[in-house]
């Protein structure tokens, strides 16, 4: 018998796909023809400068923003009630209800879904057991991010959206968050991640896309893209700066080194 945590999770399945996504804000074209596929059980990373269209793209995929043009399919169907029940979202900015403890906050969101994980399991997955009775306002930045992740996991999502989840965290908190995401991915959850941290993308993502001016500039596996742009073994052999190439080198090569307005 298949375990509850893996029901409906087929690693070979194309869980979410988008074709020709376009988003206009008046005369501004924020996203211009983005297409992608997310395979079950993988992590897809979206990288790009500020204003590249990352958050707008993710918000369309989440069903938060309607696209001006293009299609989004979840398990081969238009986004609908099933998607809303099976998706977990950790927004870039979220205000939590005041005067609630960590456990009470998780319980509040727990009651909004038909299928859920036990609250104690959610707290364990996000390393919040010892903080369960603490007031939300008394959490550190890293602890708040773990709580927001817990809120996104209460419905045991098949697909999890993380929009720059570690921005502003210290290195220790950031690495701890990586470990949480790797554990969630090991459960078969598909992850869509946007980040400005190239090392984060390299560690967590099976595939990445770098976008700018609303378009994808390149897409592939992190190692594969380094070899495509810098040669075989680029991630191991020293480059011109005396160290192996990394995703930051690729990012700067494709998007430029000039400071953006």
- Identify the domain containing residue 126 by its residue range: 41-55+80-220
- Looking at residue 5, what is its pLDDT? 43
Domain with residue 111: its CATH number is 3.40.50.300
- Looking at residue 257, what is its pLDDT? 64
- Looking at residue 53, what is its pLDDT? 93
Specify if 146 maps to a domain: yes
Specify if 212 maps to a domain: yes
Confidence class for position 136, pLDDT limits 50, 70, 90? confident
Residue 251 pLDDT > 90: yes
Residue 2 pLDDT > 50: no
- Looking at residue 169, what is its pLDDT? 86
Average pLDDT over every residue of 108-126: 91
Specify if 95 maps to a domain: yes
Which residue is it, tokens 């005041």?
A: 98
Q: Whole-angstrom Cα distance, residue 144 to residue 138?
A: 9
Residue 258 pLDDT > 70: no
Provide the percentage of residues in the chain whose pLDDT is more than 90: 70
Specify if 105 maps to a domain: yes
The pTM (predicted TM-score) of the whole model is: 0.89
Specify if 116 maps to a domain: yes
Nearest to 165 by CA among 219, 100, 88: 88
Residue 224 pLDDT > 50: yes
33 contacts: CB under 8 Å, gap ≥ 6: 20, 21, 22, 70, 214, 215
Average pLDDT over every residue of 211-218: 96
Specify if 3 maps to a domain: no
- Looking at residue 95, what is its pLDDT? 75
Q: Are 127 and 158 in contact (CB under 8 A)?
A: no
Residue 8 pLDDT > 60: no
Residue 17 pLDDT > 60: yes
Specify if 5 maps to a domain: no
- Looking at residue 7, what is its pLDDT? 44
Summarize pLDDT for 157-202 with one digit per residue, the tens: 999 999 899 888 889 989 999 999 999 999 899 999 999 999 999 9
Summarize pLDDT for 69-116 with one digit per residue, the tens: 999 999 999 999 999 999 999 887 677 777 899 999 999 999 888 899
The three state secondary structure string of the chain is CCCHHHCCCCCCCEEEEEEEEEEEECCEEEEEEEEEEEECCCEEEEECCCCCCHHHHHHHHCCCCCCCEEEEEECCEECCHHHHHHEEEECCCCCCCCCCEHHHHHHHHHCCCCCCCCHHHHHHHCCCHHHCCCEHHHCCHHHHHHHHHHHHHCCCCCEEEEECCCCCCCHHHHHHHHHHHHHHHHCCCEEEEECCCHHHHHHHCCEEEEEECCEEEEEECHHHHHHHHHCCCCCCCECCCCCECCHHHHHHHHHCCCCCC
- Looking at residue 208, what is its pLDDT? 97
Q: Whole-angstrom Cα distance, residue 28 to residue 229?
A: 31
Specify if 216 maps to a domain: yes
Give 227-235 contacts, CB < 8 A, sequence gap 24+: 229/253
Q: Whole-angstrom Cα distance, residue 142 to residue 177?
A: 8
Summarize pLDDT for 160-169 with one digit per residue, the tens: 999 899 888 8
Q: Whole-angstrom Cα distance, residue 147 to residue 164?
A: 15
Confidence class for position 259, pLDDT limits 50, 70, 90? low
Number of domains in the chain: 1
């Amino acid at each position: 018998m298949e375990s509850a945590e893996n029901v409906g999770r087929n690693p070979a399945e194309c869980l979410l796909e988008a074709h020709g996504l376009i988003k206009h804000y008046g005369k501004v074209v924020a996203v211009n023809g983005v297409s992608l596929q997310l395979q079950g059980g993988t992590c897809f990373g979206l990288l790009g400068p500020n204003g590249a269209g990352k958050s707008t793209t993710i918000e369309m995929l989440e069903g938060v923003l309607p696209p001006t043009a293009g299609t989004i399919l979840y398990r081969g169907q238009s986004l609908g009630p099933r998607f809303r029940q099976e998706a977990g979202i950790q927004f870039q900015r979220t205000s939590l209800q005041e005067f609630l403890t960590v456990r009470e906050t998780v319980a509040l969101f727990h009651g909004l879904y038909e299928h859920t994980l036990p609250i104690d399991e959610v707290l364990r997955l996000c390393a919040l057991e010892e903080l369960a009775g603490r007031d939300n306002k008394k959490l550190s930045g890293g602890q708040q991010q773990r709580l927001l992740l817990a809120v996104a996991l209460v419905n045991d999502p098949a697909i999890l959206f993380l929009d720059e989840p570690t921005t502003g965290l210290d290195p220790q908190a950031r690495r701890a968050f990586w470990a949480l995401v790797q554990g969630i991915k090991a459960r078969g959850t598909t992850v869509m991640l946007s980040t400005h941290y190239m090392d984060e993308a390299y560690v967590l993502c099976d595939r990445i896309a770098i976008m700018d001016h609303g378009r994808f500039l390149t897409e592939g596996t992190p190692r594969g893209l380094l070899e495509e742009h810098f040669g075989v073994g680029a991630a191991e052999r020293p480059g011109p700066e005396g160290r192996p190439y990394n995703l930051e080198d690729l990012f700067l090569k494709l998007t430029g080194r000039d400071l953006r307005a």
